[in-house]
Amino acid sequence: GQQVMQIPQYQHVQEGEDFTTYCNSSTTLSNIQWYKQRPGGHPVFLIQLVKSGEVKKQKRLTFQFGEAKKNSSLHITATQTTDVGTYFCADHTGSQGNLIFGKGTKLSVKP
Amino acid sequence: NAGVTQTPKFQVLKTGQSMTLQCAQDMNHEYMSWYRQDPGMGLRLIHYSVGAGITDQGEVPNGYNVSRSTTEDFPLRLLSAAPSQTSVYFCASSRASGSSADTQYFGPGTRLTVL
């Protein structure tokens, strides 16, 4: 079945450094959603990308969808301790609207 | 709105016991789903429903049953608990299914341990 590969699995950064997580697929992605899960919490929707080459920004977060719709990335500028958590990408597989999640990137930020 | 609620928050079972994880949403969402989350495995879809009376299997359905008698409720039943079912279970809902791809809202989760 379709797989969504997410790298890296873990990322440790110093506060103020940048962070990027990547989401890749061997097949064309339908549309990509990004979620954040704080430690001990539940996934919370961040954004959805639909169009080829789309770029969206939310304050320090920049989301990109590849031109071929086979990859996506989330970039955080100048990380803060509040950015700690696991970031997931997810693709909608088809007409039933099911999400296929990547395994997530766990971000830790050292003050 | 309470959003998506799940009960219980924590549960410990013995192998072979059965139980039901409850999930309810008050947003009138048509689409509801159950995921399990294990370390390093991300979120895996167990079962989903596109509306009352309609359910279908996801990626890892074995050992679990679901039903959807109302729009609001989507319980998950463990028939005979096994240690491999130790996990965190999340229920989620969204406005509609389909390629329009609505945001999924997740409940707080149930942390289940099977001894």
CB contact under 8 A, A48 and B43: no
> For residue B73, what is the DSSP state?
B
Q: Quote the distance between the C-alpha of residue B13 and its chain's center.
A: 17
Cβ-based interface (< 8 Å): residues of A facing B: 1, 6, 9, 30-31, 33, 41-45, 48, 50, 88, 90, 92, 94-104
How would residue A2 be classed by pLDDT, with cut points 50, 70 and 90? low
Average pLDDT value for residue range A78-106:
88
Cβ neighbours of A88 in B, within 8 Å:
42-43
The pLDDT of residue B40: 81
The pLDDT of residue B95: 86
The pLDDT of residue B98: 52
Average pLDDT value for residue range A90-104:
80
Cβ neighbours of A95 in B, within 8 Å:
97-99
**Which of A9, A94, A98 is opposite residue B45, by nearest beta carbon?**
A98
Q: How far apart are CA A5 and CA B27, in angstroms?
A: 32
- Rounded (5°) CA angle B93-B77-B79: 155
The pLDDT of residue B54: 93
The pLDDT of residue A66: 96
In this predicted model, which residue has the larger pLDDT, B51 or A93? B51
CB contact under 8 A, B104 and A96: no
The pLDDT of residue B100: 52
| Integer angstrom CA distances of residue B3 from A41, A105, B27, B74, B95 | 15, 26, 6, 14, 12
The pLDDT of residue A96: 67
Cis peptide before B8 (omega within 30 of 0): yes
The pLDDT of residue A97: 66
The pLDDT of residue A53: 96
CB contact under 8 A, B99 and A1: no
pLDDT < 50 stretches in chain B: 99
Tens-digit pLDDT profile for residues A35-86: 999 999 999 999 999 999 999 999 999 999 999 999 999 999 999 999 999 9
Cis peptide before A39 (omega within 30 of 0): no
In the structure encoding, which two tokens stand for residue A60, read together?
């320090």
The pLDDT of residue B39: 86
CB contact under 8 A, B106 and A104: no
Across the strands, what pairs with A99? Answer: A92
Reduced to 3 states (helix: H, G, I; strand: E, B; else coil), residue A81 is helix
Cβ neighbours of A96 in B, within 8 Å:
48, 50, 56, 97-98
> For residue A102, what is the DSSP state?
-
Task: Looking at the complex, report in whole angstroms how far the Cα of residue B108 sits from the nearest Cα belonging to chain A.
Answer: 5
- Which of B34, B43, B54 to mutate to probe the A interface, most A CBs <10 Å? B43
Which residue do the tokens 């001990």 mark?
A40
In the structure encoding, which two tokens stand for residue B76, read together?
């998950």
Mean pLDDT of all residues in chain B?
A: 93
Query: Is residue A89 within 8 Å of A74, Cβ to Cβ?
Result: yes
